[in-house]
Structure 1
Amino acid sequence: MKNRYTLFLLLLCTLFYGQKKSLQTKFTSEKITLDGKLDEAIWQSVPIATDFIMFQPDNGKAIPENKRTEVRVLYDNEAIYISALMYDNEPDKILREINKRDEFGAADFFGVFINGYNDGQQNFQFFVNAADGQADCLATDSNGEDYSWDAVWDSKALITTFGWTVEMKIPYAALRFSSESRQTWGVNFFREIRRDRQKYSWNLIDTKIGTFTQQNGTVEGIENIKTPTRLFFLPYASFYTYANAEQKTYGELKGGLDIKYGINDAFTLDAMLIPDFGQTKYDDRILNLSPFEQQFNENRAFFTEGTDLFSKGNLFYSRRIGGAPSYSPKKNTNEKIIEKPAAVDLYNATKISGRTKGGLGIGYLNAITQKTYATIKDTITQETRRVLVQPLTNYNVMVFDQRFHKNSSLTFVNTNVTRDGSFRDGNVSALVWDLNTAKNTYNLSGNFEYSYVNDIEEKKDGINTTLNFAETSGKYRYNFGANLVTKDFDNNDLGIIFETNYYSFNGFTSYRILNPTKLFNSFNTNINAYTQFQKETGKVQSDEINWNVNTTTKKNHYVGFGLQFRPVETYNYYEPRTEGRFSIDPTRFGSWFSISTNYNNKFAFDFEPSFSALNEHNRKSYGLFLSPRYRFNDRFALNYQFNFFRQNNNKGYVDSSSNNDDLPPNTIIYANRNVVNYTNNINGKYSLNSKMNFDLSARYYWSYTENLNFYNLEENGRLSSNDTYIENKNQNLNTWNLDLSYNWWFAPGSQLTLLYRSNAAKYDNLINKDFGNNYTSLLNNEDLNHVLSVSVKYFIDYNQVKKML
């Protein structure tokens, strides 16, 4: 009888939770003071969103009564207001680590997810933690959460005797919705009780379904709102002081303006005039032995904020804009380059983005970069001349993204780069689809991309197309797909691609638990396979099989491991750097193991060793990642990261007759080498409060390649001994970067930043294996630079100025 009663309750809960919840709001003319006290009488006149349900780890379990959560919503013609009352029977145990914006740390938090179109496609997410810090992001099922997006809104959190409270004011300017007189918004509320690592939502987010944004409830009752003009100005001024080892010191004053204008309720114009990227985070440069360029992360806010539309199809690599010059200067005999800019300056950049009521998203981005010259000096006559290495260039991205059925989309993307004069131009167009069944159980996705390049000497076009099918719900999931890239496909003018001229097949299957067991809070295991063939010859270029296990224990420690196999020899058409030539890579076996202890603890650490062995004598690699962290208190924390990786008897390209006239024709030289990498990072923070933070970020990187002996690459892809090649092709790279900053958000959207930065890089062919000597010589290097800068940006709302005037 007891079992029948339990089963009845489970069925009743399933029926109840399967329905979307709805909350009624009302208009307020009463002023809401954001103090976290919730003492305005009007808060008591609106319905309560309560009965939260666990999202993780025990999906579907009701929140305990002693931790119940109550949320209310009000609105006026300027903004929507949210109050949250979060009970906790042990308020002294509420975690409240103070962090800078968009970093949660070890702290409880409350969040609200808003979809103004209620179309299940994109959430605007706003979070407040128990230390009164803010975070916000844009979230889609395809791209996840994008915390580079920053809105201007206000909030206050307050710890109480019964738990903690939050009040939030989110201006309509921070949201997107239709212009209808009667609004129904998709909304969900979220709470994490950090000490228990438990996450709850108001409307159930069912983990059996492979979607997050389509499981909102609704808020109704927003009517006849008169939205203000969305016009904002962000003027900024910066002063830089530069110094180097030669004691040359000088100052530079910069200023500029960003503009954000709401064309209508759906579309927004962002314009960047006279940009300043002097305080952008440094790049993590490495010793790159591969035949491909190193890909860098984008750290410039304009190119990261709200760019989900522009990421469709993966055609847009924003580091092309304002990156290194496209062309290398040609030197004559007895000439040397005495000045070559590392980056190209921008004139301006503009983007327009938004979405109509019918679900059509439109994105437009345009940027113009300046002419850039290198300076060459004749070592005999001492005369200098300037050589154009980057012409005036226009970069353009256009996106049309049609959403339908609340869970699918069809997208057209075009990227175009036009260079002034007789230089290379590039154009890429793509059709991208992401189709899901009504119950979000199956997915069909893919793309068809076409590139056309008009170069100085030739014109070429190519195709890149992908098709994938997946089951996306339940404990067991799988996908399989195929990809074809023709030889002349080239999107590198505004995108990035490494491998072309192949077709491939991939498959993936996984099993996960949806609710905790006696041993695990979460458990996931998967097997994936990938095989790639050279298009003309059909030879196998890649063949990988991986098995991975990822778990979270009952004490919220992560434990995982994996095995990697390359069961057959593969043909590498990229490493020789010569068209039509290939080398043969042997079979390989590898493994890794990883532990990450619970970050709630004051002391925690990450530990991950790895190992692989190739089917050649003594050819193997091994690595170790170790990262201890310690939180001294809610204000002060340090994290150290050590990463070591060594490859013994690695084989790779070092020279060829196309680059060295002393070699016989059609000669390609490979080296048998040991490659060693050390990376040391230290990150720290001290927070005075949620709006004032000191941050430390330092990185020392050392990598060297020691060549043991040399080979000739034969036409059949095998290597034969070369005892006559004697050139020194060893490589040794040391880099140092340090950022120490103070950030003060002194008003909504307004920030003062004081930054000290030092950096140095030393590259040569002489290897010194003494770690201390390498580090000391780098810091004593004449290229060690110091920069001290102060930057102020101030957010101006046109409506506030209008009221003042």
Structure 2
Amino acid sequence: MPKYSCYSICIILLFASKMFGQKKTLQTQFTDEKISIDGKFDEKAWKSAQIATDFVMYAPYNGVPIPPEKKTEVKIVYTNEAIYVAASLYDDQPSEISRELTERDNFATADHFGVQLNGYNDGQQEFRFFVSAAGVQIDVFYTEANGEDVSWNAIWESKTQLTNFGWVVEMRIPYAALRFSTEKKQTWGLNFYREIRRDNQQYNWNLIRNEISSESNQAGILEGIENIKTPTRLFLIPFSSYYLHANKNQKTYGELKGGLDIKYGINDAFTLDAILIPDFGQTKFDNVELNLSAFEQQFAENRPFFTEGTDLFNKGDLLYTRRIGESPSIALADNETVDVYPNTIKLINALKVSGRTKGGLGIGVLNAVTEQTSVEVKNTDTNQTRLETLAPVTNYNVFVLDQRFNKNSSVSLTNTNVTRNGDFRDANVAALAWDLKTTANTFQMLGNFQYSLINDVEDTNGFKSYLEFNKTKGKYRYGIGGSYVSRDYDNNDLGINFQTHYHSFYGNVSYRILKPNKTFNSFKLSLNAASDYENDTGKTQNNYLNIGLNTYNTKNDYFGYGVNSRPFKVYDFYEPRSADDSKFVIYPEFYETWFFYSSNYIRKFAIDFNPTITFLNEKDRMNYGVFISPRYRFSDHLSLIYSFKFSRQNRNIGWVDFDDDGNTIFARRNRITYINTLQGKYSLNANMNLNLTVRHYWSYAVNHDYLTLQDDGTLTDNLIYNTNKNSNLNTWNLDLSYSWWFAPGSQVSVLYRNSSSLFSREYSRQFGSNFRDAINNENLSHVLSISVRYFIDYNTLKNSKFSKSFTKPKERIHF
């Protein structure tokens, strides 16, 4: 190599280490000028503001400077009320800028610009505000522990415009949407983000090195903010909803609801959220499935109050908020029925207080109260009825302390408590959790210790703990860990836990490329292994060895391939469902292979394709399935996504019943499942959207042979048992909604929903007849609802002319 080439490379590397090895700093300035959010940048304050530029690519070519034709320039100024951001995003092909319209908080296939602010500069959390080139807002609360929480919402303003050189963004972020210290002179963490969607390129102002798993630690610095105070953070959101219900079994009736959401800033750091007379009637429906397992189906939380800003409450992994207001089961005799069974228990009110002190101590309190609910139980032999309490008045409480330190580590203490009125079960669970990282974010130690105390007919207590070590930096990463769960550990009153009484060991190793090559933009190969053992006998409850390959090619199409295996037979202590917890059933080894392809969504037509096949180490046992989902974007306004999933389990073995002699009966069965979904959206503009979601789920299991479970875990043929235990479940859900954000934080939403669920022991293999049954049966219900929510900011109200007319001094009247 020529000598001058060596000198050039050394100079470039020295320049890169200087440029990328230090945090960038942007100096902002105060203005008392009124700035209009119009995307024009014609105020004087913008002309003298310092410019943040020299963006650097995050992906796919980590560390490469942004090309001159796509340069990005950002300015920040501040007032006594808000931070203002002006960004000029150059593009050599303005007509090719991706501008898909969507509902709020959906990135879709559009170019984006974002600002990421950390008022404490503690390297662990950020408030992120993004705007698409189509003007759609996305706000995100980011933490190192849980990543991006898109459910968090704030009230802020933005405006975008296309220009002859690219596009521009102007933003106003009020201090009420942020958290920062009370220091006279502020130093904030700051980064900017830009995504050029057609090239699948992502840029940051301050380089985020992809060899390090921590993002917020790699932000730049914002200086110059002085003498600002958090305004009174009092937001009132009154709402009113009207529901019109109809189905074949009852008369059409209307229902009017109203309530109030309150958000109040107790001080600079802590916020109170409360809902009085909650209404969750327009939340997304659950994807109910035919559940033949020994465990309940776990559902996603769709209620906004329990999804927004819950980062603190998830510390210790004790909280499953679907417990709050869920409808518990009731034990009925064979000759008893319940005509009207509530889907949920009514929530009376709920509140949460959360925040973090200057010293990094996070404090969170969540409380919710549900009402007493009773059902009428009828004896079908005597026609007599009795009133049975389904759920008493119940108080749910969560308390969290979380101490952050070293800008990348934390230790937390969490306690959950469920208190039921009267002689009903109470529960208390506590957890100590830690997440410790080295200064360079190279190694991590994770763990927790959980303790449960149940007050019931018989009091019990138990514990659960795990500890793991991970290498979190570089091309090669690995981890190892273990856990222990005692027999009587139980967090299911306010959490969810499926298995107890076992100990486990697990590990992983992975390799990834940090720079694209001629074939791949990204490439990751991973190996995971684990084994669980029952505490008393040492029998293997579970084991797996999985190999996975995940890649993006140079056209940003995704390819995934893997092999999942259970190399050794397992002893399942849960499927027998017996009061004798020493009973188990032996299940064989299996090997599963899968492939996943997802074409780049930037294309008008894209498709996801995922076939799987599983071989079990028993005669004629094989499972297979396929998922296929084409999508088409007709325009920036209109798109449709269709998904089809099919799976078949041949000669699946599972529990079905107990016979009259107390024997545990299993069945050898074939199970077939079809899931069809259709999602469509039409966005009139950035604030007005129409959405359609349709789902038809059909699954049936046909029992061919009945088997008796033996004490040694094997199964023998049972030629006597002949009860029909086939299962056939059809569910149908259709949601058609219209949403209009007519003012910041204020929304009108109209929803038409029809749904049904039909379970039967009889079945038909004809798809058409099952589909007709799903949409044409006595259980099919129709609901039309209209909801209006109006956002009231105390500061705006206080400064309004209407308010001032009441506070203006009046002339003294003399008599």
TM-score normalised by structure 1 residue count: 0.98
Q: Residue 779 of structure 1: which of 775, 780, 785 is its match?
A: 775
Match of 1:770 in 2: 766
The whole-number CA distance in structure 2 between the counterparts of 1:8 and 1:802 is 59
Compute the displacement of 1:45 (Å): 0.8
Compute the displacement of 1:10 (Å): 2.2
For the pair 1:40 / 2:43, whether they are aligned, the reply is yes
Equivalent AA in structure 2 for residue 746 of structure 1 = F
Compute the displacement of 1:11 (Å): 3.0
Aligned residues with identical type, % of pairs: 56
For the pair 1:525 / 2:521, whether they are aligned, the reply is no
For the pair 1:465 / 2:465, whether they are aligned, the reply is yes
Equivalent AA in structure 2 for residue 540 of structure 1 = T
Matches within 5 A, 1:203-282: 203-246=206-249, 248-282=251-285
Match of 1:569 in 2: 569
Match of 2:810 in 1: none
**CA offsets 1:263-316 (integer angstroms, 9 cap, x no match):** 001000001000000001000000001100000000000000000000111100
Equivalent AA in structure 2 for residue 422 of structure 1 = D
The whole-number CA distance in structure 2 between the counterparts of 1:652 and 1:329 is 23
Match of 1:375 in 2: 376
Moved more, 257-266 or 7-16: 7-16
Q: CA RMSD in A?
A: 1.0
Match of 1:597 in 2: 599
Equivalent AA in structure 1 for residue 752 of structure 2 = Y
Q: Residue 186 of structure 1: which of 189, 209, 221 is its match?
A: 189
Equivalent AA in structure 2 for residue 594 of structure 1 = F
SS of corresponding position for 2:755? strand
SS of corresponding position for 1:411? strand
Matches within 5 A, 1:536-615: 536-578=536-578, 579-615=581-617
Equivalent AA in structure 1 for residue 142 of structure 2 = A
The whole-number CA distance in structure 2 between the counterparts of 1:23 and 1:65 is 20
The whole-number CA distance in structure 2 between the counterparts of 1:460 and 1:432 is 22
For the pair 1:85 / 2:81, whether they are aligned, the reply is no
The whole-number CA distance in structure 2 between the counterparts of 1:10 and 1:655 is 70
**CA offsets 1:503-540 (integer angstroms, 9 cap, x no match):** 00010000000010000000001000010000111011
The whole-number CA distance in structure 1 between the counterparts of 2:73 and 2:335 is 77
Q: Residue 139 of structure 2: which of 132, 136, 139 is its match?
A: 136
The whole-number CA distance in structure 2 between the counterparts of 1:676 and 1:401 is 46
Equivalent AA in structure 2 for residue 180 of structure 1 = E
Compute the displacement of 1:226 (Å): 3.1
Compute the displacement of 1:14 (Å): 2.1
The whole-number CA distance in structure 2 between the counterparts of 1:186 and 1:390 is 48
Match of 1:679 in 2: 675
For the pair 1:632 / 2:634, whether they are aligned, the reply is yes
Equivalent AA in structure 2 for residue 172 of structure 1 = Y
Match of 2:808 in 1: none
The whole-number CA distance in structure 2 between the counterparts of 1:169 and 1:245 is 51
Equivalent AA in structure 2 for residue 615 of structure 1 = N
Equivalent AA in structure 2 for residue 373 of structure 1 = S
Match of 2:806 in 1: none
The whole-number CA distance in structure 2 between the counterparts of 1:7 and 1:505 is 47
Question: Does the Cα contact within 8 Å between 1:629 and 1:637 map onto a contact in 2?
Answer: yes
Match of 2:363 in 1: 362
For the pair 1:119 / 2:115, whether they are aligned, the reply is no
The whole-number CA distance in structure 2 between the counterparts of 1:582 and 1:403 is 44
Match of 2:812 in 1: none
Match of 1:736 in 2: 732
The whole-number CA distance in structure 1 between the counterparts of 2:761 and 2:565 is 34
SS of corresponding position for 1:314? coil
**CA offsets 1:361-420 (integer angstroms, 9 cap, x no match):** 000000000000111224465443321110000000000000000000000000000000
Match of 2:618 in 1: 616
Moved more, 779-788 or 223-232: 223-232
Question: Does the Cα contact within 8 Å between 1:654 and 1:729 map onto a contact in 2?
Answer: yes
Match of 1:507 in 2: 507
Match of 2:27 in 1: 24
**CA offsets 1:238-261 (integer angstroms, 9 cap, x no match):** 000011124621100000000000
**Unmatched segments (≥5 aa) in structure 1:** none
The whole-number CA distance in structure 1 between the counterparts of 2:521 and 2:771 is 44
Matches within 5 A, 1:379-458: 379=380, 382-455=383-456, 457-458=457-458
Q: Residue 697 of structure 1: which of 693, 696, 704 is its match?
A: 693
**CA offsets 1:226-246 (integer angstroms, 9 cap, x no match):** 332110100000000011124
Question: Does the Cα contact within 8 Å between 1:444 and 1:467 map onto a contact in 2?
Answer: yes
Equivalent AA in structure 2 for residue 786 of structure 1 = H
**CA offsets 1:606-629 (integer angstroms, 9 cap, x no match):** 000001100001111001000000
**CA offsets 1:651-703 (integer angstroms, 9 cap, x no match):** 1111124xxxx2x23x1111000011111110000000000000001100000
SS of corresponding position for 1:214? helix
The whole-number CA distance in structure 1 between the counterparts of 2:740 and 2:196 is 28
Question: Does the Cα contact within 8 Å between 1:605 and 1:627 map onto a contact in 2?
Answer: yes
**Unmatched segments (≥5 aa) in structure 2:** 804-815
Q: Residue 302 of structure 1: which of 269, 285, 305 is its match?
A: 305
Question: Does the Cα contact within 8 Å between 2:182 and 2:229 map onto a contact in 1?
Answer: no
Return closer, same or farther for 1:801/1:445 CA change in 2, 3 Å cut-off. same
Equivalent AA in structure 1 for residue 246 of structure 2 = A
The whole-number CA distance in structure 2 between the counterparts of 1:100 and 1:265 is 31
Compute the displacement of 1:7 (Å): 3.5
The whole-number CA distance in structure 2 between the counterparts of 1:607 and 1:274 is 44
Moved more, 529-538 or 564-573: 564-573
Compute the displacement of 1:8 (Å): 2.5
Q: Residue 747 of structure 1: which of 725, 743, 748 is its match?
A: 743
The whole-number CA distance in structure 1 between the counterparts of 2:727 and 2:683 is 41
Question: Does the Cα contact within 8 Å between 1:329 and 1:374 map onto a contact in 2?
Answer: no
Question: Does the Cα contact within 8 Å between 1:99 and 1:133 map onto a contact in 2?
Answer: yes
Compute the displacement of 1:341 (Å): 1.3
Q: Residue 756 of structure 1: which of 738, 752, 758 is its match?
A: 752
The whole-number CA distance in structure 2 between the counterparts of 1:336 and 1:441 is 60
Compute the displacement of 1:106 (Å): 1.1
Equivalent AA in structure 1 for residue 189 of structure 2 = G
SS of corresponding position for 2:198? helix
Match of 2:7 in 1: 4
TM-score normalised by structure 2 residue count: 0.97
Moved more, 569-578 or 334-343: 334-343
The whole-number CA distance in structure 1 between the counterparts of 2:783 and 2:342 is 18
Compute the displacement of 1:104 (Å): 1.2
SS of corresponding position for 1:313? coil
Question: Does the Cα contact within 8 Å between 1:340 and 1:373 map onto a contact in 2?
Answer: no
Equivalent AA in structure 2 for residue 522 of structure 1 = S
For the pair 1:727 / 2:723, whether they are aligned, the reply is yes
Question: Does the Cα contact within 8 Å between 2:501 and 2:535 map onto a contact in 1?
Answer: yes
The whole-number CA distance in structure 1 between the counterparts of 2:160 and 2:762 is 57
Question: Does the Cα contact within 8 Å between 1:329 and 1:389 map onto a contact in 2?
Answer: no
The whole-number CA distance in structure 2 between the counterparts of 1:379 and 1:765 is 21
The whole-number CA distance in structure 1 between the counterparts of 2:574 and 2:17 is 54
Compute the displacement of 1:40 (Å): 1.2
The whole-number CA distance in structure 2 between the counterparts of 1:678 and 1:398 is 42
Q: How many equivalent residue pairs?
A: 796
Moved more, 246-255 or 60-69: 246-255
The whole-number CA distance in structure 2 between the counterparts of 1:380 and 1:460 is 38
The whole-number CA distance in structure 2 between the counterparts of 1:682 and 1:697 is 6
**CA offsets 1:10-61 (integer angstroms, 9 cap, x no match):** 2321232110011001111111111111111211111111000000000000
